[in-house]
Amino acid sequence: MPVQEPFVIVGGGLAGAKAAETLRAEGFDGRVVIVGAEAELPYERPPLSKGYLNGTAARDSAAVHDKSWYDVHEVDLRTGVRATGLDPATHRVMLETGEELPYAKLLLATGSSARRLPVPGAELDGVRYLRTLADADRLLADFSGGGRDVVIIGAGWIGLEAAAAARHHGNAVTVLEPQPTPLHAVLGAQMGEVFARLHRSQGVDLFPRTTVRELRGTGGRVGSVVTDGSAGLGADVVLVGVGAIPNVELAAAAGLEVDNGVVTDHALRTSAPDVFAAGDVAAVFTPLYGRHVRVEHWANALNQGPAAARSMLGQEVRYDRVPYFFTDQYDLGMEYSGLGGPGDTVVTRGDPDSGAFIAFWMDAGRVTAGMNVNVWDVAEPIQQLIRLRRQVPVASLTDPDVPLERLIA
């Protein structure tokens, strides 16, 4: 492969930007090209549903680097350009501009897209999704000034964080969720109720076990939401937060192995030579779990981008991190580590009603996940407990007088 052919990163998000940063930090002096479909500098997504949306952070605070960084580090950043094709045999990426861009190594960091709501009326104006910075711009304009009826469909992380932001701006908020509790698939019923109580205490009308049937409006704009229990909930704005779908179209069309994401090995290598994947789109073989894992969290993009860059450079890479996620809602701050299962037992250190506690998910006496709520500097020992995969006495795990570090030693 001629040395002048660049390392190309398809995807202008956090994973792609961090990969470019790592290539330069590791001494790679060849050409680096980032192709991003959005007309924005690469940015992080947490502010979109947190600080920026609730009005406490500036728009540009989401940027991974300012524009000058790409110039100084000689990274060819092409924003507002979509990759339309990939030919692994000839090592080329086709762009919507008509250009065929050759590559020596390619990183797919194409992320994911918001899942659309498949009901009548979903195309009405005022129906929002929250995935991009442009989405956040529109939603912030909707929320600002307060006084609106906001209906949120889906009580996942995005839905709940947006609910907190909407209440911060002084809007009336209704959250509709088909499962028995918020975050039911991730946290289960017991911990899901913690978030249900939190939002209800902040004036949110929360309706679990509720299915949306139709959105209705006049003049092309949404005005109400029809559910299996209501003929029409008034709505000035409807936010749909029903999950995300990995953007695998480019990889699938090129014949790469795809299964709930672009499949990679532990070094983030795909089934095609010299093609790697990272971030939301990557289903990575994770030795800790002995299977492929795809996680749509900030920390995943933050850490997989650099790991993929090192793998592209031929370094030994074994991506084996414990999944990690955080959220901020009202006065609740939370960190979640690991992957709890639906059959796990949940035990707590501290009283969930107190507002500060740690929950542990356990399977056969082993810690599979941990969630610290308004308790800080414990994520690392929780992750170590998960990695050890050994039985831990429940009495010690739930006793606040027993340091977590003692259980690791």
Q: State whether 259 and 167 are in the same domain.
A: no
Do 237 and 134 belong to one domain?
yes
Q: What is the pLDDT of residues 278-336, one digit of tens each?
A: 999 999 999 999 999 999 999 999 999 999 999 999 999 999 999 999 999 999 999 99
- Specify the pTM: 0.95
H/E element holding 100? strand 100-102
* Shared-domain flag, residues 376 and 335: yes
User: Bridge partners of 108?
Assistant: 10, 277
Cα 271 off chain centre by: 24
For residue 191, is it within any domain?
A: yes
Domain boundaries, position 364? 331-408
Task: Look at the chain and report how many structural domains it folds into.
Answer: 3
Contacts of 399-402 with CB under 8 Å at 24 or more apart are 399/349, 400/349, 400/350
Reply yes or no on whether the pLDDT at 134 is more than 90.
Answer: yes
Residue 131 in domain: yes
Total Cβ atoms within 10 A of residue 252 = 12
Alpha-carbon distance of 236 to 250, in angstroms, equals 37
Instruction: Write down which residue in 282, 312, 342 finishes a domain.
Output: 312
CATH number at residue 261: 3.50.50.60
318 assigned to some structural domain: no
Nearest to 157 by CA among 123, 131, 132, 120: 131
- CB of 385 within 8 A of CB of 407? yes
Residues 184 and 272 in one domain: no
Q: What is the mean pLDDT of residues 351-370?
A: 96
Instruction: Tell whether 292 is covered by a domain.
Output: yes
Instruction: Tell which of 185, 209, 242 closes a domain.
Output: 242
Q: Rounded to whole angstroms, how far apart are CA atoms 113 and 233?
A: 27
* pLDDT band with cut points at 50, 70 and 90 for residue 341: confident
Cα–Cα distance, 271 to 253 (Å, whole number) = 13
Tell me how far apart the alpha carbons of residues 174 and 153 are, in angstroms, rounded to a whole number. 9
pLDDT at 231: 86
In a domain, 72, yes or no: yes
- Judge contact between 168 and 279, C-beta under 8 A: no
> Do 251 and 106 belong together in one domain?
yes
> Do 13 and 105 sit in the same domain of this protein?
yes
Q: How many other CB atoms are there within 10 angstroms of residue 324's CB atom?
A: 19
Q: What 8-state DSSP symbol labels residue 132?
A: S
pLDDT tens per residue, range 42-101: 999 999 999 999 999 999 999 999 999 999 999 999 999 999 999 999 999 999 999 999
Backbone φ and ψ for 105, nearest 5 degrees, come out as: -135, 145
Could you tell me if 266 and 304 lie in one domain?
A: yes
| CATH code for the domain in which residue 371 is found | 3.30.390.30
- Spatial contact of 241 and 158, defined as CB atoms under 8 Å apart: yes
- For residue 172, the surrounding DSSP H or E stretch is strand 172-176
pLDDT at residue 3, rounded to an integer: 52
Indicate if 251 and 108 belong to the same structural domain.
yes
194 and 280 together in one domain: no
**8 A C-beta contact, residue 41 and residue 64:** yes
> Does 301 lie in the same domain as 221?
no
Determine the straight-line distance between the first and last CA of the chain, rounded to whole angstroms: 49
Same domain, 146 and 193: yes
Instruction: Tell me whether residue 323 is in a domain.
Output: no
- In this prediction, residue 409 carries a pLDDT of 80
Query: For 261-274, what is the mean pLDDT?
Result: 98
**Is residue 325 a part of any domain in this protein?**
no
User: Residue 1 pLDDT more than 80?
Assistant: no
Mean pLDDT of 221-250: 96
Residues 366 and 379 both lie in one domain: yes
pLDDT above 90: residue 4? no
* Per-residue pLDDT tens digits for 148-182: 999 999 999 999 999 999 999 999 999 999 999 99
For residue 393, pLDDT over 60 is answered with yes
Task: Provide the mean pLDDT of the chain.
Answer: 96
